[in-house]
Amino acid sequence: MNNLAGELIEKLYIDRSLTEEEYAGLIELRDEESAALLREYAVKVRKSIYGNSVFTRGLIEISNICKNDCYYCGIRAGNKHCERYRLTPQEILMCADEGYRLGFRTFVMQGGEDSYFTDEVLCDIISEIKARHSDCAVTLSLGERSRESYQRLFDAGADRYLLRHETADKEHYEKLHPGKMSFDNRMRCLRDLKEIGYQVGCGFMVGSPYQTAKELAKDLKFIESFKPDMCGIGPFIPHKDTLFKDEPAGSLELTCYLLSIIRLIHPPVLLPATTALGTIHPKGRELGILVGANVVMPNLSPVSVRKKYELYDNKICTGEESAQCRGCLSARMQSIGYELVSDRGDIKK
């Protein structure tokens, strides 16, 4: 291991902070030895807070209809080959009921920015889930909305909101999104969510087009300052019906390296081993847990729509990705020394 990399890792472990230039240097100096040291420290820190517990979230993909045309996304508005769907409120409630029976105590409603899901529709769904399952958390991942909208959803009972910032570099953001989308508005949304009182999640793709160590360093510095309750990162995987269909997939190794760094930056953060990790490697989620992650999000969506919510190519949609196979996922976690727990899984501060 390069001496400078070792010094930076020790500094990060002690101070929970590096400069942007130091984060970029640590990324550029990545090798097997530095990754091993980061992993050791990340696991130590994570176990000191959460032990061997892995939290589960039941993912309900409520709609693949989206008004936005993000250049990398398989459900972007401009993709004419996407087979669109939208779950009814009753279907969403049935997914939550089934998830509760299976042992889930957090439900994540995720979807494109679909105009059908007004505040009124969503508030009715949220309040009904909370009425049926008062010991559960409701997480939303439904894109950019007004502060007033976020407030109404929070007042209806939503506990958490996931909104990936995608990149903390404005110039990079503009290379990945059409002109009508605004980096400043994305950051405004995150600030509003935190001020309202949500547990807030941000995140970014690893290996996205035009990304260098400099952009990743900005992402890490943003996480350091924003201190999200959750942070979702995963390797970029191209989709055949996007502008970036021929781009190479992001690196599993670099993603794992960054997961360890994020754990050291913000020790209590809820850090998912994402579906993208499982897509790019058969044991990707286990590898994520072994470097510092502590959340998995199996799918509660109806089987008939899982393949339609295709943000990237070859997304895993069946088998052990399914929430119905909670036992399979539990066995996989046990095989690496961890335990799935039936718990809301709130951040410990």
Closest by CA to 30, choosing from 64, 54, 59, 6, is: 6
Q: What is the pLDDT of residue 166?
A: 97
Query: In which band, very low, low, confident or very high, does the pLDDT at 41 lie, cut at 50, 70 and 90?
Result: very high
The enclosing H or E element of 127 equals: helix 119-132
**Angstrom distance (rounded) from CA 162 to CA 63:** 16
**Angstrom distance (rounded) from CA 261 to CA 76:** 31
Lowest mean pLDDT among 163-177, 219-233, 254-268, 319-333: 319-333
Q: Where are the domains of the chain?
A: 3-7+15-341
Residue 303 has pLDDT above 90, yes or no: no
Query: In which band, very low, low, confident or very high, does the pLDDT at 322 lie, cut at 50, 70 and 90?
Result: low
Lowest mean pLDDT among 12-16, 245-249, 302-306: 302-306
Output 327 or 106, whichever has higher pLDDT: 106
Q: Would the pTM of this model clear 0.95, i.e. be above it?
A: yes
Say which CATH architecture domain 3-7+15-341 belongs to.
Answer: Alpha-Beta Barrel (3.20)
Mean pLDDT of 109-127: 98
Location of structure tokens 């899984």:
345
Q: What is the pLDDT of residue 317?
A: 62
Mean pLDDT of 51-71: 97
Q: What is the pLDDT of residues 161-217, one digit of tens each?
A: 999 999 999 999 999 999 999 999 999 999 999 999 999 999 999 999 999 999 999
**Angstrom distance (rounded) from CA 237 to CA 274:** 12
**Angstrom distance (rounded) from CA 251 to CA 249:** 7
Residue 319 has pLDDT above 70, yes or no: no
Residue 328 has pLDDT above 90, yes or no: no
Q: What is the pLDDT of residue 3?
A: 93
Residues with Cβ within 8 Å of 165's Cβ and at least 6 positions away in sequence, in order, are 186, 187, 190, 202, 203, 204, 219, 222
